[in-house]
């Protein structure tokens, strides 16, 4: 279980981004949503160890990991997929999957991870992770990387970006399979109603703090019925779906 206790984060020039965030992540799927600029990505980076909180403590299964680096946290079982996927020049997709898995992944295994995220595997295993890959392809490769890692806690920042509407249901299936294989919690930052719909717990982050937290049944009706930017984003996506169907 991950536990955040009164987490605050300020930038080097003392701009407060997060304040007094306390929450636990022990469920299957925890969704973090809320308006743009509310602090969701910053929170994910604090959990992954990319940013060090300026106040509060982070515990993983009771162990204080507040001062641990991103590598140490990864070794303890925290995986993080960036909102903007990272390109690693010179590295091939199968190398990245081997690195993530911590062992030499066979081409068959690499292909199965890539197929899970809807990529025609044989076309991608030998591709270099450079600018020739589209943002959507990179995003899927990154999800495959987290799959290969199989962690205690997997954190995804807006995984729906770059995933077309046709494959959206597959993405949700990927998360469900991931849970079946790892039994580790999956924390997903998303504006997408269909992702919020599979969440056991929903956290609404707004103005750097927790605005609402509770079960899906407690929170979803409130955010879908409200006029804040988080639900506005859901509506925008709903309109796009309607546009495609029309
Ligand atoms: N390193 C930084 N220096 C200064 N400001 C920052 C830094 N990182 C984030 N911010 C600011 O903190 C606020 C929260 O940013 P964050 O990316 O966490 O929001 P978000 O909820 O993930 O937004 P979105 O939904 O648009 O991705 C924003 O106003 C952002 O500009």
ipTM of the prediction: 0.96
32 lines ligand 1 (CB under 6 A): no
Q: Residue 11: CB within 6 Å of ligand 1?
A: yes
CA distance 121 to 112: 7
Predicted confidence at residue 26, as pLDDT, reads 96
CA of 94 to the centre of ligand 1 (A): 32
- Structure tokens, 75: 């070794």
Q: What is the distance between the alpha carbons of residues 156 and 161, in angstroms, rounded to a whole number?
A: 11
pLDDT at position 66, please? 97
d(CA 196, CA 193): 5
Return the pLDDT at 83. Answer: 64
What DSSP letter does each residue of 75-106 carry, written as one string? HHTEEEE-SSPPP-TT-BHHHHHHHHHTS---
SS3 content of the chain, % helix, strand, coil (to 5): 40, 25, 35
Q: What is the pLDDT of residue 151?
A: 87
d(CA 178, CA 172): 10
Of 57, 52, 20, the residue nearest 207 (C-alpha): 20
C-alpha span between 112 and 29 (Å, rounded): 23
Q: Which atom of ligand 1 is nearest to the CA of 38?
A: 21
pLDDT reported for residue 152 = 92
Ligand 1 contact via 84 beta carbon (within 6 Å):
no
> Does residue 230 line the site of ligand 1, with CB under 6 A?
no
Q: How many beta carbons lie within 10 A of that of residue 215, not counting itself?
A: 12
- For residue 40, how far is its CA from the centre of ligand 1 (angstroms)? 8
The reported pLDDT for the residue numbered 199 is 97
pLDDT recorded at residue 85 = 66
Query: Quick count: other Cβ atoms within 10 Å of Cβ 150?
Result: 17
Atom of ligand 1 nearest to the CA of 158: 27
Segments of the chain scoring below 70 in pLDDT: 83-85, 165-166, 226-246
Burial (CB count within 10 angstroms: exposed 0-12, middle 13-18, buried 19+), residue 161: middle
- pLDDT at position 161 is 79
Is the minimum distance from the CB of 17 to ligand 1 under 6 angstroms? Answer: yes
Report H helices in 1-129: 40-48, 70-76, 93-101, 107-116
């Amino acid at each position: 279980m991950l536990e955040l206790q009164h987490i605050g984060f300020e930038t080097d020039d003392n701009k407060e981004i997060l304040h007094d965030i306390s929450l636990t992540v022990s469920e299957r799927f925890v969704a973090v949503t809320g308006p743009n600029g509310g602090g969701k990505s910053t929170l994910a980076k604090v959990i992954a160890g990319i940013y060090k909180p300026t106040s509060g403590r982070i515990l993983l299964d009771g162990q204080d990991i507040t001062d641990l680096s991103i590598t140490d946290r990864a070794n303890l079982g925290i995986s993080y997929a960036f909102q903007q996927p990272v390109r690693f020049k010179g590295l091939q997709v199968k190398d990245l999957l081997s690195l993530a898995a911590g062992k030499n992944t066979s081409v068959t295994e690499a292909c199965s991870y890539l197929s899970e995220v809807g990529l025609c595997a044989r076309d991608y295993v030998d591709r270099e992770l450079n600018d020739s890959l589209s943002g959507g392809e990179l995003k899927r490769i990154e999800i495959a990387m987290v799959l290969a890692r199989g962690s205690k806690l997997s954190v995804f920042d807006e995984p729906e970006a770059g995933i077309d509407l046709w494959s959206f249901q597959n993405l949700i299936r990927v998360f469900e399979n991931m849970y079946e294989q790892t039994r580790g919690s999956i924390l997903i930052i998303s504006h997408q109603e269909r992702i919020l719909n599979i969440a056991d717990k929903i956290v609404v982050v707004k103005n750097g703090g927790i605005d609402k937290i509770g079960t899906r049944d407690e929170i979803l009706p409130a955010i879908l019925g409200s006029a804040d930017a988080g639900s506005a984003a859901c509506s925008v996506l709903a309109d796009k779906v309607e546009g495609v169907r029309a």
